[in-house]
Structure formats: C-alpha cells, structure tokens
Amino acid sequence: MGKSGEVARAEDDPVAQNLALVGRVVEAAQAEMLEKARKRLPALRLGALAGALGMMATAATYRMNVQLLERKLPPELASFVTALAYGGGAGAAAVAAGRKWRGLPAPLPSETVRQVAEILTDRDDPTDED
C-alpha cells in the first residue's frame, strides 16, 4: 500500500509531471534530429565522394598534365593551367553537393519545438479559463 500511495502522490506532483513532460520533449527532439541527420547522409556521402575522387584524379594525372603542357608552355604557366582545371572540377563537385544539401530541412528539432510552443500557448490562452 505504501508504494501505491507514493505512485499516486508522484502522479499528482507537478514537478514529477513536468519532469515527465520534459523527458518526452527531449526524446521527441532527439528522434527528430536523428531523422533529419539521416536525410543529410546522401549529401554528405556525395561531398565525401567528390573529395576522394578529386584527390585520386589529382594524384593520378597532375604530373602527366603538367608535363604535357610544359611542351607548349613555360613550367609556371603549365602548373597554373593544370591547377585551374582541377580547381574548377572541385568547385563543380562542391556546387553539386551544396545544391543537394540546401534542399533538406535544418537538422534542428523544429517540429518538436513547434508542437511544444502550440501546447504551451494553448495552456496559457486566457480565453480557456472563462
């Protein structure tokens, strides 16, 4: 009987109720942020893939391209032209990743915050007390 009395008091205790509510809000916010983070994974993978492919292409062909250009251009200009070409490719990959990233919602618990704000404004509404 002692335990059931404690449970009844805990259910009536406003602090315990607020703690339970806060726990549910935190869990909902964490779940929402996890879901939004999962939606961003493809964009992150695309960005990582673009970076990795850019590095491999640079490592594999940089010297060859410089040597080919050095046949017609001075070494400094050949290096500059090669770097410009690789930089353009990296920029294009970054733009593609950025466009994919922009289409996704922010990784914040905005839906949970909106729901909590609605609940709080409904409770604080003075027209409900009449």
Q: What is the pTM of this model?
A: 0.40
Residue 90 is part of which domain span?
2-110
16-74 pLDDT tens trace: 887 888 888 888 888 888 888 788 888 888 889 988 887 887 777 777 888 888 899 99
Q: Is residue 52 part of a domain?
A: yes
For residue 129, tell me if it sits in a domain.
no
Residue 121 domain flag: no
pLDDT tens-digit map of 67-119: 888 899 998 898 888 889 888 988 998 888 888 877 776 666 777 777 777 87
Position 101 in a domain = yes
**25 vs 81: CA distance, rounded Å:** 56
CA geometry: angle 23, 27, 32, nearest 5 deg: 150
Asked if pLDDT for residue 1 goes beyond 50, the answer is: no
Number of domains in the chain: 1
